[in-house]
Amino acid sequence: MTVMQHIWIVLGVLFVFLNIAAGLIWVERRLLALWQDRLGPNRAGPLGLFIVLADTLKLFFKEDWIPPFADKWVFILAPAIVVASVLMGLAIIPFAPGIVVADLNVGLMFFLAMSSLGVYSIVLGGWASNNKYSLLGALRGASQMIAYEVFMGLSLMGVVMLSKSFNLGDIVAAQKDMWFIVTQPVGFVIFFIAGLAETHRLPFDIPEAESELIAGFHSEYSGMKFGMFFIGEYLGISLISAMTVTLFFGGWLGPAFLPPVVWFFLKTFFFIGIFILMRASLPRPRYDQLMGYGWKLLLPLVLLNLLVTGAIALWLKS
């Protein structure tokens, strides 16, 4: 692969995913509306698609205010971290054979590391805002991330055992005969729940929890800084959906009548839809319920899953 090709791939991935993140504003509002027996934004442009432009313009023209009591530089830095870390996470996803930004042999570990780094934006944003609701949100965000990061990693180890690689390309290739959703259903469910918590989407939007904490860690943010948190959240949804597809649903594998990239994005959009459906239907658990659920139920379950997977893998080998 030449350098030029590589640059095109990098630019292409950036372009596609930033556009998906922006487009999700429209997708989410339309889908939520349809599920609530409404129509949603359908006026600006075809099918209301220009609502994305309108929303972006609105965010750009809003007053970009830094509260005088805030820690200025950290306050500015925090929203950038979430977008940067999620975009880094997207680097290791194979979209089709040969189309991957960084074909790392520790790709999965890199993804876990990057998704954990995202918590810094919550913690720093909440801390720098110097506001009690923001701090509470940041606190919750940190503990939620720590709890769910643990078994997010562990839930993927079953996949790693079966495919014997951390490289995502190899993991996809290992699903040629059978997707890992069949062999690792528990791993999938736990990974998806952890992914929800990781992107702090509803029902696990405990750090934001607008009914309790105003807007949690981004209470003090306005304008495009808030927009960055927003984009970061949508990028996070895309990343988790893309990872779910790569790890459990065969990535770009699919019947030959459609090109691999199309299969990949079809599956990814299905999971983005599930994310939005969960937001539309499920209530937010209490903070202590979330933590208890994580540590007392999901962690033992994921360890058990790991144990059983390992045993079966060894038994098959012998």
Of the candidates 250, 286, 279, which has an alpha carbon nearest to the alpha carbon of residue 267?
250
User: Is 34 near another protein (CB under 8 A)?
Assistant: yes
92, two tokens: 């290791």
Least CB distance from residue 192 to another protein, whole Å? 12
Q: Which residue has the tokens 């790569």?
A: 246
The span of 9-17, 36-44, 117-125, 170-178 binding another protein (CB under 8 A) equals: 36-44
Exactly one of 18, 23, 35, 103 binds another protein (CB under 8 A); that residue is 35
CA dist 246 → 241, 260, 289 (Å): 9, 12, 30
Residue 39 or 57: the one with the smaller Cβ distance to another protein is 39
Q: Which residues contact 188 (CB under 8 A, 6 or more apart)?
A: 155, 180, 181, 244, 247, 248
Of the candidates 249, 251, 244, which has an alpha carbon nearest to the alpha carbon of residue 94?
251
User: Is 104 near another protein (CB under 8 A)?
Assistant: no
User: Is 278 near another protein (CB under 8 A)?
Assistant: yes
Contact 283, 204 (CB under 8 A): no
User: Is 261 near another protein (CB under 8 A)?
Assistant: no
The span of 33-41, 121-129, 170-178, 303-311 binding another protein (CB under 8 A) equals: 33-41
User: Is 46 near another protein (CB under 8 A)?
Assistant: no
Least CB distance from residue 110 to another protein, whole Å? 31
Residue 262 or 282: the one with the smaller Cβ distance to another protein is 282
3-state secondary structure of 99: strand
> What distance in Å separates the CA atoms of residue 197 and residue 122, rounded to the nearest whole number?
13
**H/E/C letters for each residue in 164-188?**
CCCCHHHHHHCCCCCCHHHHCHHHH
Least CB distance from residue 70 to another protein, whole Å? 38
Beta bridge partners of 99: 96
Which parts of 97-131 fold into alpha helices (H)? 107-117, 119-129
The span of 93-101, 141-149, 234-242, 279-287 binding another protein (CB under 8 A) equals: 279-287
The span of 10-18, 127-135, 138-146, 273-281 binding another protein (CB under 8 A) equals: 273-281
Q: Find the angle CA(159)-CA(270)-CA(228) to the nearest 5 degrees.
A: 90
User: Is 303 near another protein (CB under 8 A)?
Assistant: no
Exactly one of 6, 38, 164, 286 binds another protein (CB under 8 A); that residue is 38
Exactly one of 7, 281, 292, 304 binds another protein (CB under 8 A); that residue is 281
Exactly one of 11, 12, 15, 36 binds another protein (CB under 8 A); that residue is 36
User: Is 304 near another protein (CB under 8 A)?
Assistant: no
Residue 70 per-residue DSSP state: S
Exactly one of 173, 280, 299, 312 binds another protein (CB under 8 A); that residue is 280
> What distance in Å separates the CA atoms of residue 247 and residue 162, rounded to the nearest whole number?
11
Q: Which residue has the tokens 């997010």?
A: 152
Please report, as a single letter, which amino acid is at residue 83. Answer: V
219-258 footprint of another protein as x/- string (CB under 8 A): ----------------------------------------
Binding site for another protein (CB under 8 A): 34-39, 277-278, 280-282
